[in-house]
Amino acid sequence: MSKRDVIKKAYELAKESHKGQKSIDGKPYFEHPKRVYLKLKKVNQDSVLLASALLHDIIEDTKYSLKDIKKEFGEEISFIVDSLTKIPGYSKNFNKTLNKVKKGIKKDRRVLLIKLMDMHENIRVLKFVKKEERDKVTAKTFRMLDVLQPFCKTKLEKRLLEDKRKAIHKYLYGYNLEK
């Protein structure tokens, strides 16, 4: 299968599997992985990265399993998707999820780029979340950013991380951070 075909197959599977699901902002859920994909496509044309971006929520939110992803897309993509999949009982298992993400990044740096773009999109919809829940989400996001920071080596990764930190700061404290 060509690189373009892999991306197209991931796009179609994500679109179909998220059909009928709504995001917290009321839009079709597929728009979330699609936006992550489109943002990454601007900075990196790697087909495994882009296909994984489209599929990053598929195990958590659909009937598809890791085994299905591995069968359809292979070891590399399934590893990245699995690294980005929250452990069930996310609130109670947040630290385990953090460790899973770190382990994934150590093996494949594309996990980091997808996670940063995913967080960007999640921050974008925080305004639709009730304040109490938003406070919990932003605190966890700050914690995730702290964990991701040592892995950010390139200018792009550092800039993406800092952009997320500033956006979360605005939600927590109501004002932008100055440089």
Exactly one of 60, 82, 121, 163 is catalytic; which is it? 60
Contact (CB, 8 A) for 24 and 128:
yes
Exactly one of 61, 72, 162, 163 is catalytic; which is it? 61
Annotated catalytic, 60? yes
Annotated catalytic, 118? no
Q: Residue 109 is encoded by which pair of tokens? A: 């740096």
Q: Residue 102 is encoded by which pair of tokens? A: 């770190």
Q: What is the DSSP letter of 126?
A: G
Residues 118, 146: Cα–Cα separation, whole Å: 16
Residues 64, 83: Cα–Cα separation, whole Å: 15
Residues 68, 78: Cα–Cα separation, whole Å: 9
Q: Which residues are catalytic?
A: 60-61
